[in-house]
């Protein structure tokens, strides 16, 4: 069970990492599993891009920034992270909630 990776990892009430620096790929897999998502290479591309974008700007990217930045379509992004990609992507990537609206 990948979820046991999260046993000693502090999460806030919404399930986001309280300390983003502890993030690693095993934690991402475990968080994704909680969301019912099995990470494929496409997911990793999004996650990696989001982490790079956040490192550059200091803020978790918005959905629009993700589609523009990765070249994925809105449909593809919503298929990869169904039912609420805004929070799911940020949570799995170990980032905070996106601060922009678009």
Partner 1 sequence: MSENRHMAFICSKGNLDMAYPALIMGWAALGNGVDVTLFFTFWGLDLINKHRVDHLEIAPVGITSMKTGMMGFPVNMGIPQLAGVLPGMTAVATSLMKKKMEELDVPPVREMLQMLHDAGAKIYGCKMTVDMMKLTKEDFLDVVDGVVTASEFIDITEGAQIIFI
Residues binding partner 1 (CB under 8 A): 63-65, 73-75, 78, 83-87, 98, 100-102
Torsion of CA 32, 81, 84, 90, to 10 degrees: 60
* CB-nearer residue toward partner 1: 14 or 38: 14
* CB-nearer residue toward partner 1: 14 or 41: 14
Q: Which residues pair with 11 in a beta bridge?
A: 17
Q: Which of 4, 8, 55, 101 is catalytic?
A: 101
50 is catalytic: no
Shortest distance (Å) from residue 90 CB to partner 1: 10
Q: Quick one: residue 61, left, alpha or beta (phi over 0 = left, psi -120 to 50 = alpha)?
A: beta
Residues 40, 32 contacting (CB under 8 angstroms): no
Shortest distance (Å) from residue 95 CB to partner 1: 14
User: Catalytic amino acids?
Assistant: 101
């Amino acid at each position: 069970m990948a979820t046991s990776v999260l046993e000693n990892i502090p999460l806030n009430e919404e399930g986001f990492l309280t300390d983003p620096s502890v993030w690693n790929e095993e934690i991402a897999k475990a968080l994704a599993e909680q969301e019912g998502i099995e990470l494929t290479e496409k997911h990793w591309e999004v996650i990696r891009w989001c982490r790079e974008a956040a490192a550059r700007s200091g803020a978790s990217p918005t959905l629009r920034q993700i589609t523009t930045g990765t070249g994925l379509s809105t449909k593809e992004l919503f298929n990869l992270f169904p039912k609420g990609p805004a929070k799911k992507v940020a949570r799995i990537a170990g980032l905070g909630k996106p601060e922009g609206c678009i």
